[in-house]
Chain A
Amino acid sequence: MSETVISIENLGKSYRLNHQSQERYVALRDVIAHKVKGIFTRKPKVENPKTEEFWAVKDISFDIKRGDVVGIIGRNGAGKSTLLKLLSRITEPTTGRIRIRGTVASLLEVGTGFHPELTGRENIYLNGAILGMQREDIRRKFDEIVAFAEVERFLDTPIKRYSSGMSVRLAFAVAAHLEPEILIVDEVLAVGDASFQKRCMGKMGEVAKNEGRTVLFVSHQMAAVENLCQSGILLERGTIIEKGAAGDVIRKYLSDLSKLAEISLADREDRKGSGEIRFSSVTLQNEKRETVNSFVSGEKSIFVLKYKNHSNRDLRQLDVEVRIETYRGHRLILLKTELCGEAFQLVSKDNDTIELHIDKLPLAPGRYCTTLFVTMGGGIVDWVKEAWFFDVEPGDFYGTGKLPPEDEGLVLTPHHFSIPE
């Protein structure tokens, strides 16, 4: 019963990066101008030095057997999405080969092809067709899909009037009723409310277990991968660095993540933004302005962010955002200059430090991760996911010497109970 359904040999995909233009597409003007210039200058035709080859996926080989549920994990830019795109035939590999036996459905996005002007009913048919279902199958499962999405009352309403939660539910319901032999899913569970997510997970698990379907699943949520998958593949810079039992692969991923934290922020290359300023380091300080290794629950906590101003100009309309996430990728707190009414209108070009103060740290002991996102006048200048990690030690947040037991809540808030007179 262990038939190989997907076999991948030396798979690679390279893209040409064009450093010159930030545009998503080339203008004919530039191509013509370039050609014309070529005629007049009679330069020997050299490769444009500004373009460089980038291997999004390189030398990947693995086999997947029927009924396997495989989690593909890795940091942003590790090549997960490219791998799925190759598997779903959206883009062609540069090298290597994939053999797939059986019908494939890929779900790289929830609600691909949903049209806002069409009603829920119409969109179910359209989306089903886009995902490769036959009209007959859709008709047969129509009621089931509607029930799963809980949108009975809005079937004939255009989905532009749906709440985002509703359209996500509808989209997932269609996808969940696909019956391919191989299902490829990318991060789609990251949307929707928690209870619906749970139902989707249940549905996917059920599909994999009962119907012997093969599932490839990409997610940032280690909890989801752990629940759903038996085996895992860890990608890093386009290659496989670990494969095996899901638990082992996740452990390796998490330990790599914390090693990453030791790399200076300045050396990180997996960042986005225009780069006018680049954040280079983060230190933690306590109330007495002493540099510390970790924070304490309920204490004053200060992040000292150092950056380099590469633009040599004063910074205008600087908006800094620090997002605190759990180790497993759940977003907990958004700290943002704009939220507290402190967006920096003008920062001198000589400045190199921004401090973030949290008066009473509302986090339970544990390890947390942060994402740094900085914009200037609305444009992204520096964006680093999982920019750094920090630990929180037990502290006397409530003044009672007590903290919630482990896994019983991560966020602390002052509160009181009373019995009305």
Chain B
Amino acid sequence: MITSPVLQSPDEPVVSQEIVIEAGKTELHYWRDLWRYRELFYFLAWRDILVRYKQTAIGIAWAVIQPLSTTLVSVFVFEHLAKMKSEGTAPYAVMVLVAQLPWQFFSRALTEASNSLISNTNLISKIYFPRLIIPASSVITALVDFLISTGLVVVVMIFYRFAPDWRAITAPLFLLLALGGAMGAGLWFAALNVSYRDFRYIVPFIVTIGASVSPVGYSSSIVPEKWRLLYSLNPMVGIIDGFRWALLGSEIPLYIPGLAISTIFITIVLITGILYFRATEKRFADVI
């Protein structure tokens, strides 16, 4: 190994940091760089939000129309046709809307994160920065839509004169779980997408299936007790039930084993997602 002397002439100020580029050595600067490039994170998120509704006639209203229309359809199909019951005293529409919040957030964040790398190919092949910034910033648009939909839920609750109790303050915790799940899976899919474009088709498929196997349009209390644990293997079950528990004030208690499974599962996916992403990241520019 060749060690080079510290090159520094006396009348020169000490040069900022030294970067050493070597095979397998990118690891060293990674987390520090991630912090240094936080501006880029901010700007990419800002770009995605700006671009999202450009050249649309009704703009941001789309963020309201989507959950509203799916809720109407769910109410019609599940309450009026299938005669299902709501949870506690909450009107059916409110119950569905409250589940729409985490579900729409999760599916949108997952989709955006999964496609984020391949839709930013030009950045990856021309500029260096910690690649984690791309999927991380892409979920911000989903977060913005989530906030808008929350406003919608508030309006609808006022309309039905329905007020949540103190448990509402725990909702952000379940949002955090949804974020973790979307990021974890999103990192996996984003990294896999770079090499295998198949995941471009797999992700929408997962989202479609997920919408029916998650208790979005109906209450998870219709699932028979003996299937409950199995049902909870879908991490969105714990999150959606959590949102309902927090916001509907119903007497149905939280299903703790299910929530625990969701949390453990999401943690595992998130950690392995980051590890896999980090492991493949250095090849992105070569393969994408």
Interface residues of A (CB under 8 A from B): 1, 3-5, 7, 9, 15, 25-29, 31, 85-104, 106, 108-109, 112-113, 115, 117-118, 122, 125-126, 129-132, 134-135, 158, 181
Contacts and interface: CB of A to CB of B under 8 A. Distances in A.
B4 A15 contact: no
A99 B21 CA distance: 6
Contact of B8 (A3, A26, A112): A3
B169 interface: no
Contact of B196 (A28, A91, A95): A28
Interface residues of B, number: 49
Contacts of A26: 195-196
Contacts of B286: 15, 91
B51 interface: yes
A57 B47 CA distance: 36
A15 to B, nearest CB: 7
Contacts of B125: 90
Given A3-B9, A101-B16, A115-B51, A25 B197 contact: yes
A25 B126 contact: no
A125 B283 CA distance: 28
Contacts of A106: 127-128
A99 B43 contact: no
B47 A108 contact: no
B23 A100 contact: no
B47 A92 contact: no
Contact of B43 (A86, A94, A98, A126): A126
A382 to B, nearest CB: 26
Closest 10 CB pairs of A and B: A129-B43, A89-B128, A28-B198, A98-B21, A28-B196, A112-B126, A100-B19, A117-B54, A101-B15, A92-B282
Given A1-B9, A3-B7, A89-B128, A102 B15 contact: yes
Contacts of A95: 23
A112 B122 contact: yes
A135 B230 CA distance: 50
Contact of B198 (A29, A101, A112, A135): A29
Contacts of B129: 130
B229 to A, nearest CB: 32
Contacts of A97: 20-22
B209 interface: no
12 contacts: A1-B9, A3-B9, A7-B4, A25-B197, A27-B198, A85-B285, A88-B128, A92-B23, A99-B19, A101-B17, A103-B16, A106-B127
A90 B126 CA distance: 7
Contacts of A94: 23
Contacts of A122: 47, 50
Contacts of B55: 117
B279 interface: no
Contact of A126 (B24, B47, B282): B47
A179 to B, nearest CB: 13
A156 to B, nearest CB: 13
Interface in B162-216: 194-199
Contact of B21 (A89, A113, A158): A89
A104 B19 contact: yes
B118 to A, nearest CB: 9
Contacts of A113: 122-123, 127
A106 B19 CA distance: 15
